[in-house]
Structure formats: C-alpha cells, structure tokens
C-alpha cells in the first residue's frame, strides 16, 4: 500500500509487485488541528481503502508513506513540515505500524517517486538514477546502487535548492538563485507576466489566455499558449530549458547518473523542448560523453506519491 500525505489531501492506493496501481482513493487532509486529527486524516483514508478492498488486509507487504519533509526516513518521524503544522516530531511510521500491524516506511515524496521510477518506471535497468519533479517547487530523488541516497540526516537530494546564480532572487529556503526559484511553475508564471508587461504591443495567445489581466497569468497558461504555437510562450519555456541545462550540468558533473528522469506538473509543458535540453546539457557538463545520458519522462504522473509509497515497501520480506 502506498500513502501520499500532502497538505490538502491524502491519497492511498494498492500497488502490485510490478508497480501497477490497482485501486486508489483520496481524502482531504485535516492539517489544522492537533497531531491526532492529522493522523486521523491518514487512517481515515487507509481504513476506507481497506473497507473497499478487505482482502488487502491479508495480502499487503506493508505500508509506505510519502510525507512532507523534513522527516527522518530511518525512524519514520515527521519533524516539522511547514505545510502540515499539526505534526512536530511526530512518529508517523510507528503510529501507522502499531495500528495496522504491518511494516511501515516513511520517506519524502521525491525520494519515494525516484524509487518507484527505478523499480517500475522510466529508471528500470539503471542502478544510478536522478529524478527531478518540476511543479510548484522542484523536488529531487537520487538512487545510487539501487537505493535512495539519504545522506547524513536523511535530508539529502534537495536538488531543487542547488544555487546556479548566487546573485539571483531569494528562494523561500533563504538561499539565492536556487533552480526552484528560477525555473519551477511560479518562476515560469513570473517570467510570463514580466514579458507581457514589457512588450505591451506584442500580440500573443498567452495575453489572450490571461484575459487581459497580466497578473492572472499562470504557468499552465504558458504551457497552453505554447501548445497553440505562441512565440512568447516558447521563449519563456526555452529560457527555462537553459536554466535547467545549467542545473543538470551541475548534477551530472558531480554524480554522473545513468539516467535523468523528469516528472512533475511542469514536465509536460517542457517536453516539446527535451531535444534542446539534451543539446544544451552537452555544453553544461565537463565530460562530453555525458550528453548520452538518457533524459526521460517519468512513468508515474499524479499518482507518483502512491507508487512511491508502495515502492518503499519493496525492502519488506
């Protein structure tokens, strides 16, 4: 069973040994009350899944949970997630394990999604995988020799906060010019608004999509406008590709993964430009042979949290 605990919803699903999501359901998260209320959101979703699939009580190997960080993947303790304030040093893994009498693992969503891609998705056949989920933020997971690279405290693979412009804008994390503040969804929207403001006379599908209200422009509109052939949107996405090439160049020079997998909500609108990304990456990594590194779409989309949670159960007997 994979459980994806987010700030607004809990998604749970049953996943088979080949990574196929057999069934799933979603419930809202109650994150405003105390720790017990937060826990009840999770157990409510799990209970509902068991109620609909009673045989699962006998057949599951365990429960794997993606939870918001920071957390300790070794102990299953959720430390102090900014978007789930109900929990502070909360032993989520132990609580779920005691209640359902099964082994439980807890990890962050990008680590777990990386593991799911490695086991069942775009990363099959590779031992060293770099996974980046580009959406509202940028989450990353690193698989080395078939295992999640957790690092000293369990919080490694925060690749979204790798700085590529130390003079750049300040990110929510406090650092300047992280790839997240430069290239995630909000940065794409910000760049779109700036371009529309600076070039008021330039006609574009993007301007039309925003309904004349530049401030209402979203990254989704940029993706839509590009799909409609809008040159302004294309410019914005190619600028984003340039930044991602610098970022991936850093990661390749440090780690030389065997494959780079791109997921997250923004990945789809970037996909028309993967050839450009590959080409620009070649100029951004020291070893020219590394332009061969496959750059692949994630297999799992919106259900990456469920698949990731289930992937965490892979180490259970």
Contact 260, 235 (CB under 8 A): no
Select from 272, 159, 157 the least CA-distant residue to 226: 272
In what helix (H) or strand (E) does residue 187 lie, and over which residues does it extend? Answer: helix 185-198
If one asks whether residue 212 binds a second copy (CB under 8 A), the answer comes out as no
The one among 43, 53, 80, 128 contacting a second copy by CB under 8 A: 128
The one among 62, 132, 249, 309 contacting a second copy by CB under 8 A: 249
* φ, ψ of residue 186 in degrees (nearest 5): -60, -35
The one among 156, 214, 238, 268 contacting a second copy by CB under 8 A: 156
Q: How far is the CB of 284 from a second copy (least distance, A)?
A: 6
Select from 62, 12, 8 the least CA-distant residue to 38: 8
Q: Report residue 168 as tokens.
A: 């750049």
Q: Report residue 201 as tokens.
A: 């006379």
If one asks whether residue 149 binds a second copy (CB under 8 A), the answer comes out as yes
If one asks whether residue 238 binds a second copy (CB under 8 A), the answer comes out as no
Say how far apart CA 111 and CA 143 lie, in whole Å: 8
Pick the stretch among 113-121, 143-151, 202-210, 308-316 that binds a second copy (CB under 8 A): 143-151
Judged by beta carbon, residue 101 or residue 167, the one nearer a second copy is 167
List binders of a second copy among 9-68 (CB under 8 A).
none
Say how far apart CA 223 and CA 49 lie, in whole Å: 35
If one asks whether residue 256 binds a second copy (CB under 8 A), the answer comes out as yes
Residue with token string 């020291």? 286
Which SS3 state, helix, strand or coil, does residue 133 take? strand
The one among 1, 157, 269, 310 contacting a second copy by CB under 8 A: 157
| Residues contacting a second copy: total by CB under 8 A | 42
Say how far apart CA 139 and CA 305 lie, in whole Å: 12
From residue 290, give the alpha-carbon distance in Å to each of 124, 127, 134, 281: 19, 16, 22, 9
If one asks whether residue 170 binds a second copy (CB under 8 A), the answer comes out as no
If one asks whether residue 291 binds a second copy (CB under 8 A), the answer comes out as no
The one among 5, 112, 251, 296 contacting a second copy by CB under 8 A: 251
Q: How far is the CB of 182 from a second copy (least distance, A)?
A: 9
List binders of a second copy among 258-287 (CB under 8 A).
258, 283-284, 286-287
If one asks whether residue 290 binds a second copy (CB under 8 A), the answer comes out as yes
CA gyration radius, the chain:
20
Judged by beta carbon, residue 163 or residue 304, the one nearer a second copy is 163
Q: Report residue 145 as tokens.
A: 């020799």
Q: Which residues bind a second copy (CB under 8 A)?
A: 70, 128, 142, 144, 149-153, 155-159, 161-167, 173-175, 243, 246, 249-251, 253-258, 283-284, 286-287, 289-290, 293
């Amino acid at each position: 069973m994979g459980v994806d605990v987010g700030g607004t919803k809990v998604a749970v699903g049953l996943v088979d040994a080949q990574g196929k999501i057999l069934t799933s359901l979603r419930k809202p998260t109650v994150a405003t009350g105390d720790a017990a209320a937060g826990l009840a959101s999770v157990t409510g979703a799990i209970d509902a899944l068991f109620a609909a699939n009673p045989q699962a009580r006998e057949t599951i190997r365990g429960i794997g949970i993606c939870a918001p960080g920071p957390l300790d993947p070794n102990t299953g303790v959720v430390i102090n997630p900014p978007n789930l304030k109900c929990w502070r040093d909360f032993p989520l893994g132990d609580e779920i394990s005691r209640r359902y009498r099964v082994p439980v693992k807890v990890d962050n969503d990008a680590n777990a999604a990386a593991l799911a891609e490695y086991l069942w998705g775009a990363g099959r056949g590779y031992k060293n995988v770099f996974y980046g989920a580009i959406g509202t933020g940028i989450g990353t997971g690193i698989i080395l020799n078939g295992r999640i690279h957790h690092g000293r405290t369990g919080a490694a693979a925060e690749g979204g906060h790798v700085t590529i412009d130390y003079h750049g804008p300040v990110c929510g994390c406090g650092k300047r010019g992280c790839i997240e503040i430069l290239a995630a969804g909000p940065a794409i929207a910000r760049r779109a608004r700036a371009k529309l403001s600076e070039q008021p006379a330039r006609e574009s599908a993007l301007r039309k999509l925003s309904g004349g209200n530049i401030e209402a422009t979203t990254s989704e509109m940029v993706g839509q406008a590009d799909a409609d052939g809008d040159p302004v949107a294309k410019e914005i996405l190619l600028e984003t590709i340039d930044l991602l090439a610098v970022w991936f160049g850093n990661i390749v020079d440090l780690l030389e993964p065997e494959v780079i997998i791109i997921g997250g909500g923004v990945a789809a609108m970037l996909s028309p430009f993967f050839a450009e990304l590959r080409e620009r990456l070649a100029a951004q990594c020291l070893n020219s042979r590394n332009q061969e590194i496959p750059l692949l779409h994630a297999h799992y989309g919106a259900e990456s949290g469920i698949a990731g949670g289930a992937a965490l159960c892979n180490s259970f007997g």
